[in-house]
């Protein structure tokens, strides 16, 4: 999708797959705005095709990275994340049997969380994240905001049909948990849990790319 680990995975490694994969963003917030984030890329439903593809040199004109190359790329990102002020307890796992990749860490505030996300982006996109912020948490108003600033629709239309197939059944899932009950949510697609302390949103990745749906949301919490 972008010039970093996702591009290596989704276009280089997974352009061969038409099966489903899922990107999951889980964030647990404390009242002071600190918390824990887990980012997961789950391609387990495509593992049979991926195992076959990993034996090839290239697919659809994309070089297929080796497991070592993928591990090295992940290690580079993890090393940068560990150096971010306000980030601790950085963990990651790469399961090449099920093709599930996970990165998690604790953060002291959403500014540090935004810095984590920027490390998965190109320099240009990282600058946008720093300026406009993917995440914001107003502790005085008890309001959490998830923004999304990418417009990938034009770039997506320029890709070939084989590359587009990667996103046909792909999904993006966001799960946010809070210590205080949720009062309201501005995204009508999001589902609030029975306890009112968690909210989930699952959308088709292609719909997000084409601006037909969004992971944006503003969540009001009980004071």
pLDDT tens digits, 100-142: 999 999 999 999 998 888 776 656 655 665 666 789 999 889 9
* Token output for 147: 């923004």
Examine the pLDDT at 191 and tell me if it is beyond 90.
yes
Domain residues for the domain of 33 are 5-13+22-221
Return d(Cα 144, Cα 39) in angstroms, integer.
18
Query: pLDDT at position 160, please?
Result: 56
Number of domains in the chain: 1
Examine the pLDDT at 85 and tell me if it is beyond 70.
yes
Examine the pLDDT at 7 and tell me if it is beyond 50.
no
Give mean pLDDT, residues 21-32: 92
Average pLDDT, the chain: 81
Examine the pLDDT at 153 and tell me if it is beyond 90.
no
**Alpha carbon separation from 141 to 22, 77, 175, 197 (Å, rounded):** 33, 34, 21, 17
Q: Tell me how crowded residue 188 is: count the other CB atoms within 10 A of its CB.
A: 6
**Alpha carbon separation from 173 to 21, 176, 214 (Å, rounded):** 11, 10, 11
């Amino acid at each position: 999708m972008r010039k970093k680990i996702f591009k290596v995975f989704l276009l280089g490694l997974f352009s061969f797959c038409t099966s489903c994969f899922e990107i999951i963003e889980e964030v647990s917030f404390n009242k002071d705005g600190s918390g824990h984030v887990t980012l997961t890329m789950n391609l387990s439903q495509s593992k049979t095709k991926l195992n076959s593809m990993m034996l090839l040199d290239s697919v659809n004109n994309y070089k297929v990275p080796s497991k070592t190359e993928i591990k090295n790329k992940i290690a580079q990102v993890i090393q940068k994340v560990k150096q971010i002020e306000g980030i601790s307890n950085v963990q990651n796992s790469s399961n090449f049997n099920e093709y599930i990749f996970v990165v998690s860490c604790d953060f002291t505030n959403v500014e540090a969380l935004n810095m984590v996300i920027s490390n998965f982006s190109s320099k240009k996109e990282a600058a946008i994240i720093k300026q406009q912020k993917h995440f914001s948490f107003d502790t005085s108003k008890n309001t959490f905001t998830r923004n999304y600033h990418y417009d990938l629709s034009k770039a997506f239309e320029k890709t070939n049909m084989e590359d587009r197939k990667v996103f046909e059944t792909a999904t993006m899932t966001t799960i946010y948990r809070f210590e205080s009950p949720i009062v309201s949510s501005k995204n009508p697609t999001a589902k609030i849990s029975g306890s009112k302390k968690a909210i989930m949103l699952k959308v088709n990745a292609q719909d997000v790319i084409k601006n037909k749906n969004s992971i944006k949301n503003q969540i009001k919490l009980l004071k």
